[in-house]
Structure 1
């Protein structure tokens, strides 16, 4: 049986329903599919789809999110491919769209993420399971926003995602939206992922500087380097998955962000970043 579905780019695709051979091209959405119980149906993932580790080890890797092995994807004969506008390379996706049903997400806010989870649940015949995840995420983030108000969190933040050159998450990103939900004001005003240097970043005088664990794996040595450049700022290592993965990991992100709120409202610990 074929069914029609509309993705977050407004495209309508026809899918053999329910799909039996799924390829996922985005780590956070791959984790979602496995959490929805699709261990058998998912036949291909990217080399960055590391969660859950058991499924990562056992599934065929079809390349990286921006460098896919199109021939291998064709060999797997998928009846559904799930990707994302930002994370996948446009020309490769367009080539796949010529041959296969490709459902694309396009996510900037928590509402976008919850809608994607619900849509994917419908797409793969897991609507009740997806609805439950959306319920948990909604309840958790409502509580997070309430606590941010109760804690009086109103701090400026710079969220670094890359080094050499330094790049930050600015407005019009999912990361920025999650910062806002936790009472944090982004010091960066340029949209998307602008480049900067430490001198110019220091001029913005952020209260907090978050060093993400991905895509660049910031470590303690980088934390000390940035502290020297911005001694007035509180510099912290943060788990990038909890700020940028917009699938079922958002359930775990709630607890992580509860703890992060508690840490940023508490006293700084000299010489240490976040150990969350």
Structure 2
């Protein structure tokens, strides 16, 4: 442990699986007291048990949270501030990609509304209440703590590029997250509050694999990825750690792409072999 988040207080939404889970574990490993929020309470309770066993020097707390409900999000922030007197990192990660999401003709209004309530409203609620808490953060030089904080919102490479497989509600929602993050970064920069949007490429997580549920869909997505493979959640978590820590102290308002090169490519050569993930990044 390098202690890059030592004494910090962090909230992770959607912490029960995928990027959220890997980030929660990494935050705890780096010394943060972490609040794991997810609509699946059992999942975050299990994650807290792992953290408590591996890193007993930090405090991990599980809390059930539906990010589409402002009262739930506010309750998580209030709990963090009540318990530790501050909030340093807000990772707005919770999101959905519905299997019935399609193009403009086929996508039903209820799927559009559900997607935007979670992916856009949920991020807005997280930013709204995190900003109010971060404005009050006291500086504690002895512990290396300062005013302000870091907010990381999960957008996507589809906020920059159109998706080859139609997912209009998701794509539009992630474009909104990116635009929201940029504006908040500008508005709150002088308060010491940094806001960045993480833009993951295609990942080997349940969220995407459930959507790309046929070999044809998966191949359609990978043909555009220069690295020739789906990313791993831990690769995104390491980027989130960087954005949460003081290592990124002069970075705000970015579309931080961790995407295997997809946003730089037109199409990759046909017939190229798929590359395995680096050693140590295989699914656990």
The bucket for the TM-score relative to the shorter chain is: 0.3 to 0.5
Which is strand-richer, 1 or 2?
1
TM-score with structure 1 setting the length = 0.34
* Higher RCO (CA < 8 A, seq sep 6+): 2
* Superposition TM-score, scaled by structure 2 size: 0.33
The structure with the largest alpha-carbon Rg is 1
